[in-house]
A and B are shown apart, each in its own frame.
Chain A
């Protein structure tokens, strides 16, 4: 079982609508959690970072939340645009012997339709 689970696997919404993507993790000890956006044929690009003490962080129309107690994070996209069509990957970093480990979720594939 992957230490970072994302849902839904894919999502189709109409332009202008809102949506929320979920990420559950078991990585421990926890350092931080990032959401990345990956456009088709491109590498992932960081959207937000959440550390242990942060609950909410916004980046334009993207708002990430973190509940470190339940080990859950969400990414909320407001007023979706066609350009939001991409994969959204949750990446959790934790500590291990000698440094840290980085665990990627499988991503949520978002399709925004006109």
Chain B
């Protein structure tokens, strides 16, 4: 099966500019996650979707971050305006929904964002 696809792989922007990341999850996976990973740290959840509904966005900085998942498939994550502290790797993951949380998360290779 094709894995989780993210684009772009790298993005360099100046602060205060907008940026968008795109994610195509594994076909049939109804749960989609966006994570942010700083160097030397584990991923931190930004938002989780069940189909097209955002069921956990408590860690999403809503003043500058937004996300959408059209038709419950692809998703985009946007930052506007970007700040220096937003430099990180943004990971998208997908999984099959399960009340026990047993299925693994399948991660894309991430987008490395550098804000200058």
Contacts and interface: CB of A to CB of B under 8 A. Distances in A.
A58 to B, nearest CB: 17
The size class of the interface chain B forms with chain A is 20 to 34
Given A43-B93, A95-B101, A100-B99, 7 more contacts: A32-B100, A42-B110, A43-B4, A89-B43, A99-B99, A102-B101, A102-B105
Given A43-B4, A43-B91, A43-B110, A107 B42 contact: yes
B13 interface: no
A89 B35 CA distance: 14
Interface string B88-100: 0001010000011
Contacts of B102: 31-32, 49, 51
A93 interface: yes
B85 interface: no
**Max chain B C-beta neighbours (<10 A), residue from A32, A51, A91, A99:** A99
B25 to A, nearest CB: 12
Chain A contact residues: helix, strand, loop or mixed? strand
B105 A42 contact: no
Say what secondary structure dominates the interface of chain B: loop
Interface string B19-53: 00000000000000000000011111100000000
A84 B67 CA distance: 35
Contacts of A34: 104
A49 B58 CA distance: 27
A46 interface: yes
